[in-house]
Amino acid sequence: MNKKSDSQAQKKTTSVERLQQVQEAKLEKEALDQNEAQQSLVADSGDGSKAAVKEAVQPTPELVEPKVKTAKNKSIVIAVFALVLVVFIAWLSYFFYQKLSTRLLATNQQLASFTQEQHSQHQQITSSLLTQLDGAKNDVARLSLSVNESVRTVALLQQKLTDISGRRPSDWLLAEANYLVNLAGRKLWQEQDHQTAKALLQTADLRIGEMNDPSLISLRQSLATDIATLAALPKDKTQATALTIDGLISQVDNLKLNMVELPDAELETEQQGLSTSATDWRQNIAKTWHGFVDGFITVRRRKGNIEPLMAPKQQWYLEENLKNKLLQAQLALYRQQQDTFKQALELSSRWLLQFYDRKDSTTQFMLEQLGELKTLQIAVKYPRSFSSADMLYQELKRRDINTTSTQGR
């Protein structure tokens, strides 16, 4: 930009110099024209007066010099004005250049900021669109899976509908009987509830009887055998027995320990009377002294083995151990552990006979109850399977009735 302004200033200076030269040429031309006019006037007036006219018309140095000086002054003024104009134009060009540069810099900065902001917004929009696109793809995938699942479900339903349409109306009774037999198996082997299992088998037999199908007679006979097997099982007395043991545990605190039985004291055989003989005065004094002392301190000698009394702490341990044994018997009852149940009851009876008063009514009651409990048969041998379950499964398979449960087999 500075180079351009310098070249413009040089061009303007050259143009000013040319203007000055043109003006000087015009002044010289005017002077020559004036001289030619004067010479033509002298030629017309005659030769006689040529000399006079020459002298009259010939310009004097005083007139010519001011004109030349005026032209030079004008040229200088014009040159100065042109120089000032060039300087002003150069300064004005520089000022506008600086201002334009500042604006251009600010514009470039704004443009860079705007470009960066637009780039950031573009990235955000692109990221948001990509996220939405991924979400849409996931939704489409889920919908596709859902549609496929629905198609499979519809196909299965159609298949089931086709299967049902080809069956006999009474086939659902056979499927219900199979469900009841499986439920009876769960009740028997998981909950040891043979009464409910027997009732379920009886209901299954009723459902099969409603079908009025002679081909199922053997199946009903098998069901009758299973029902009879369950009916022959002993009744479940677990809850009643557990409550009986709870009652015995609560009576432990009321038991009376065996008390010490002292043997009879030996009777004094010696005669305690005083002698009338004077020679027995020492014996009489001793007897009198012993008779006086016996009123304060009495020593009786007994024969036989005397067992010491049980300390209170030992009594508490004995009661807690007895309760613990009864609890062990109760736990063995729930687990149907016959040997453990019997051993716990026998040890409890032995402790009652050894440490507690046999004549006490509470002790007698507990011994009687323990004796009855020891005769109980708590371990029940349940059948390992139902014979009717296999036959029912084969019948369902023959009739092409889907079933996946095998609990009763």
Helix then strand then coil, in percent of the chain rounded to 5, is 75, 0, 20
Q: What angle do CA 216, 222, 227 make, to 5 degrees?
A: 125
Cross-strand bridge partners of residue 302: 265
Tell me if 95 sits within 8 A of 2, measured CB to CB: no
DSSP 8-state secondary structure symbol assigned to residue 334: H
Count of Cβ atoms closer than 10 Å to residue 9 Cβ: 18
What 3-state DSSP class applies to 302? Answer: strand
Tell me if 201 sits within 8 A of 386, measured CB to CB: yes
The predicted-structure confidence for 99-136, as pLDDT tens digits, reads as follows: 888 888 988 898 888 888 888 888 889 888 898 888 88
DSSP 8-state secondary structure symbol assigned to residue 211: T
Q: Minimal CA–CA distance to 326: which of 279, 289, 373, 274?
A: 373
Spatial separation of the C-alpha atoms in residues 253 and 240, rounded to whole Å: 22
Cα distance from N-terminal residue to C-terminal residue, the chain: 106
Torsion sign over Cα 341, 342, 347, 348: positive
Which pLDDT score, from 0 to 100, does residue 40 have? 54
Going by C-beta distance under 8 Å and a sequence separation of 6 or more, which residues neighbour residue 67?
A: 27, 31
Spatial separation of the C-alpha atoms in residues 362 and 357, rounded to whole Å: 9
The predicted-structure confidence for 191-211, as pLDDT tens digits, reads as follows: 778 888 899 999 999 988 888
Match 């520089």 to its residue by tokens.
94
Tokens of 81: 């004005």
Tokens of 24: 């000087």
Match 């708590």 to its residue by tokens.
378
Please compute the mean of the pLDDT values over residues 145-174 and round it to a whole number: 77
Going by C-beta distance under 8 Å and a sequence separation of 6 or more, which residues neighbour residue 83?
A: 13, 16
Spatial separation of the C-alpha atoms in residues 266 and 408, rounded to whole Å: 80
Which pLDDT score, from 0 to 100, does residue 402 have? 66
Three-state SS across 353-399? HHHECCCCHHHHHHHHHHHHHHCCCCCCCCCCCCHHHHHHHHHHHHC
Higher pLDDT, 389 or 282: 389
Tokens of 315: 């009594």
Whether the per-residue pLDDT at 78 is higher than 90: the answer is no
Whether the per-residue pLDDT at 13 is higher than 70: the answer is no
Q: Which residues of 185-199 are buried (b: 16+ CB within 10 A; e: fewer)?
A: bbbbbeeebbeebbb
Whether the per-residue pLDDT at 45 is higher than 50: the answer is no
DSSP 8-state secondary structure symbol assigned to residue 304: S
Q: Which amino acid is at 269?
A: T
Tokens of 221: 């006979």
Residues in the chain: 409
Please compute the mean of the pLDDT values over residues 144-152 and round it to a whole number: 89
Cross-strand bridge partners of residue 356: 257
Three-state SS across 220-240? HHHHHHHHHHHHCCCCCCHHH
What 3-state DSSP class applies to 258? Answer: coil
Spatial separation of the C-alpha atoms in residues 27 and 22, rounded to whole Å: 9
Confidence of residue 48 (pLDDT cuts 50, 70, 90): very low
Residue 23 dihedral angles phi and psi, to the nearest 5°: -65, -40
Whether the per-residue pLDDT at 371 is higher than 50: the answer is yes
In angstroms, the Cα distances linking 151 to 140, 146, 156, 158, 214 are 16, 8, 9, 10, 41
Confidence of residue 320 (pLDDT cuts 50, 70, 90): very high
Mean pLDDT of the chain: 77
Q: What angle do CA 279, 285, 287 make, to 5 degrees?
A: 110
Q: Which amino acid is at 251?
A: Q
Which pLDDT score, from 0 to 100, does residue 302 have? 54
Helices 217-231, 387-398: inter-axial angle, 10-degree rounding: 150
Which pLDDT score, from 0 to 100, does residue 284 have? 74
Please compute the mean of the pLDDT values over residues 162-174 and round it to a whole number: 68
Spatial separation of the C-alpha atoms in residues 313 and 309, rounded to whole Å: 12
Tell me if 169 sits within 8 A of 397, measured CB to CB: no
